[in-house]
Amino acid sequence: MLEIKNISKNLEDFNLKNLNLSVNKGDYFVLLGISGAGKTILLEIIAGITSPDSGEIFLNKKNITKQKIQKRRIGLVFQDYAVFPHLNVKNNIAYPLKNEKLSAFEKNKQILKLAEEMNITHLLNRKTTTLSGGELQRVALARTLALKPKILLLDEPLASLDIQLKNELRSLLRNINKKGQTIIHVTHDYQEVISLANKIAIINNGSIEQTGTPNEIFQHPKSQFIANFTGIKNFFKAELKNKQAIINNSIAFTLLTDKTKGKGNVLIKSQDIIISENKVESSACNNFKGIITDIIPAPLGIEIFTDIGIQLVALITTQSLKKLNLYKGKNIWISFKASCVKFF
């Protein structure tokens, strides 16, 4: 449906470099990247607000690179909503409908339908200057959907909402997508979109580093940056020798693989790592003596940062932390099974 080919844009302090993307009809496509990675500028290029220096954009096989913004029918919901302050909610939603030759009855019907979908019927006659962030977000969404966009672009739509509103809006966006609306959603928070995306692209420093399904990205991150960015703590470049992954030429992890040699990446989930005060005899092949370098509370437990020659992070419960009396600087043993080490 949408093809972005070799898009480049030079800005004063930032460049987009030869970007390529492909979005299919009905996709919930998430563009994931840190602040300043080039996400918003890419959305603006797709919407036609900013022109690329080179490259082409195809929508349904039609080259729209030079098409005027008002002709593209690609709706963009801005991060700060850009709701018109001098118009009430109803007139904001009606704004794109005025381009269409519809009767007043038809327009009202569409406004009401959208307002019902967004759960803002009670706000229709309100001034937009009196609305909360969550309400403004819904008004901006309703207004953009009134355009009947071929693609809906969302710039950090959940960034400034509290947890409850985030959940509500996530559910709303899922429903919009289920009805067949193609969505490109830009965010810096991978947790925000795990449940929404069917395709993800990681953008870093103006380039796309990896594209794939959420499973492909989270199970097989291509780089340290992607691994860290997507919440994976134990990701290492490694060389396979004799069924062992050698990291930094200093430490070897035993793993289950049918390969015998080659270079690749090693990934160990932090929840698969066991910490003990003394060496424990068990079926785990990987046992290392180390020292605790940091203890940081995480949303699902406590992250224990250890040094075993390289940094390994283990995720444990608060009860385990207390039971083992773990503290910074304490000597401990780390163990994990060979089956927990993924080499790709």
Partner 1 sequence: MNKPQPFNIIFSLLGALILLFIIAPLIGMVIATSPQDIIETSKDTEVQKSIWLTVWTSICSTIFFAIAAIPLSYLLAKKSFRFKHLINGIIDLPIVIPHTAAGIAVLGFISRNSYIGKLSSNIGLDFVGHPAGIAAAMAFVSIPFLINAARDGFAKVPVKLEKAALNLGASPSRVFFTISLPLAWKSILSGLIMMFARGMSEFGAVVIIAYHPMITPVLIYERFSSFGLKYARPVAIIFIAVCLIVFIILRLLSPKISKSFYNHKEHKVLHKDRKDFMVMFIFFVTFVHSL
Residues within the interface to partner 1 (CB under 8 A)? 47-49, 69-71, 73-76, 78, 80, 82, 84-86, 95-96, 98-99, 127, 129, 143-144, 146-147
Q: Which is nearer to partner 1, 100 or 162 (CB)?
A: 100
Of 147 and 295, CB closest to partner 1: 147
Residue 144 vs 177, nearer CB to partner 1: 144
CB 144 within 8 A of CB 150: no
Task: Give the list of residues 6+ apart from residue 256 with CB closer than 8 angstroms, or none.
Answer: 338, 339, 341
* Least distance from partner 1 to the Cβ atom of residue 100, Å: 8
Compute the distance between CA of residue 190 and CA of residue 218 in angstroms, rounded to an integer: 10
Strands 331-336 and 207-212: unpaired
Q: Which residue lies nearer to partner 1 by CB, 29 or 81?
A: 81
Where are the extended beta strands (E) located within the chain? 2-10, 15-23, 28-32, 54-59, 62-63, 74-77, 151-155, 182-187, 199-204, 207-212, 234-241, 244-247, 251-254, 261-268, 274-276, 286-298, 301-307, 311-316, 331-336, 342-343
Least Å distance, CB 35 to partner 1, is: 18
Q: How far is the CB of 147 from partner 1 (least distance, A)?
A: 6
* Shortest distance, position 204 Cβ to partner 1, whole Å: 26
CB 95 to partner 1: min, Å: 5
Cβ nearer to partner 1, comparing 73 with 188: 73
Six-digit token string for 104? 């007043």
